Amino acid sequence: MLILGIETSCDETAAGIVADGRRMLANVVASQAAIHAQYGGVVPEVASRHHIEAMLPVVKAALAEARCKPSDLDAIAVTAGPGLAGSLLVGLNTAKALAYAWSKPLIAVNHLEGHLYANWLDVETPPELPAVALIVSGGHSELILAEDHGRYQLLGRTRDDAAGEAFDKAARVLGLGFPGGPAIERASREAGPKPPRLPRAWLGQSNDFSFSGLKTAVARMAQESHAPVADIAASFQTAVVDVLTRKAVNAAEAAGARCILLSGGVAANGPLRATLRERSSIPVWAPPPILCTDNGAMIAGAAHFCAEAGVAPLDLDVRA
């Protein structure tokens, strides 16, 4: 089954083509990061306008990269939510128009399910379920038990900021630019041997996360101490990685999971990947960094595994 996946939930205009949920034939991403960098964050209205301009060229480029024609496709998949309403609308309406014009079924995909299935792309043997998924992005930090394809249990989530959002805000306070995750990771490499310690919110035995206190602590340290920016960045990153990895490992042990599936933009973070692998006694899967951040291939991949549940009517609306 050959699926075209379209993704426009935030500031990446993306289209990918995947065979049988596993083999990636194309993955084209037009990032708007440079446009939003001047504002220090994603401006929703600007994002949707740029999606309109980039969408069809990106779909055409994906078809060319995969060397396939519209008639070769079996379905058109699209992120229906969650995300920015105006951004989602561009992808969803493009997908509807193509599905109608090319007489293909339309498959609605949940953005988080897309991130999860990035772990199935271009791997020799796929991950084994049940697994505990740690999905960490700009909008979400979730611990999910994936019992089987399409069968999930929410184990924990953030009570305030998402992990990626915390990276972006901390980077902004430290004057490191946007997007904050890669900027903090880069700055941390220049840290001294003993960076100051920042607090962690453990929330007792709960699987939930909280990052707003840490964000405030970074702001206070930046204002009140003479610690170098690289040291504060490293302390912040260590605190986030510490909490994410300990909670993921504990949840996986308690659930009897066969593996841990890391995904979402923050999963591109090197220390997060390395620490999780160090601390876990079961296999840890993480997509290559380019498939951690938003892309169309992950949407096409997820659609293969949830096609039956996800075949959507043409009057479907976005779920922001």
Binding residues vs ligand KG4 (CB under 6 A) = 10, 137-139, 164-165, 167-168, 179-182, 185, 264-266, 268-269, 293-294
Burial of 320 (0-12, 13-18, 19+ CB in 10 A): middle
If contact means CB under 5 to 8 A according to the sort of partner, which of Zn ion, ligand KG4, none does residue 180 touch? ligand KG4
Site string (256-295) toward Zn ion, x via CB under 5 A:
--------------------------------------x-
Q: Please, which of residues 126-165 interact with Zn ion by CB under 5 A?
A: 137
**Which of residues 83 and 195 has its CB atom nearest to Zn ion in the complex?**
83
**313 DSSP β-pair partners:** none
Shortest Cβ 235–Zn ion spacing (Å): 26
**Which of residues 73 and 137 has its CB atom nearest to ligand KG4 in the complex?**
137
If contact means CB under 5 to 8 A according to the sort of partner, which of ligand KG4, Zn ion, none does residue 195 touch? none
**Which of residues 81 and 127 has its CB atom nearest to Zn ion in the complex?**
81
Query: d(Cα 46, Cα 171) in Å, to the nearest integer?
Result: 22
**Which of residues 10 and 241 has its CB atom nearest to Zn ion in the complex?**
10
If contact means CB under 5 to 8 A according to the sort of partner, which of ligand KG4, Zn ion, none does residue 310 touch? none
Using alpha carbons, list the distances in angstroms from residue 226 to 176, 196, 218, 223: 17, 11, 12, 8
If contact means CB under 5 to 8 A according to the sort of partner, which of ligand KG4, Zn ion, none does residue 185 touch? ligand KG4
If contact means CB under 5 to 8 A according to the sort of partner, which of ligand KG4, Zn ion, none does residue 127 touch? none
**Which of residues 25 and 272 has its CB atom nearest to ligand KG4 in the complex?**
272
Site string (21-40) toward Zn ion, x via CB under 5 A:
--------------------
**Which of residues 94 and 137 has its CB atom nearest to Zn ion in the complex?**
137
If contact means CB under 5 to 8 A according to the sort of partner, which of Zn ion, ligand KG4, none does residue 114 touch? none
Burial of 226 (0-12, 13-18, 19+ CB in 10 A): exposed
Question: Does the protein bind Zn ion through residue 48 (CB under 5 A)?
Answer: no
Residue closest to Zn ion (Cβ)? 137
Question: Does the protein bind Zn ion through residue 79 (CB under 5 A)?
Answer: no
If contact means CB under 5 to 8 A according to the sort of partner, which of ligand KG4, Zn ion, none does residue 269 touch? ligand KG4
CB 241 within 8 A of CB 167: no
Query: d(Cα 137, Cα 159) in Å, to the nearest integer?
Result: 14
Burial of 99 (0-12, 13-18, 19+ CB in 10 A): buried
Q: Which residues bind Zn ion (CB under 5 A)?
A: 137, 294
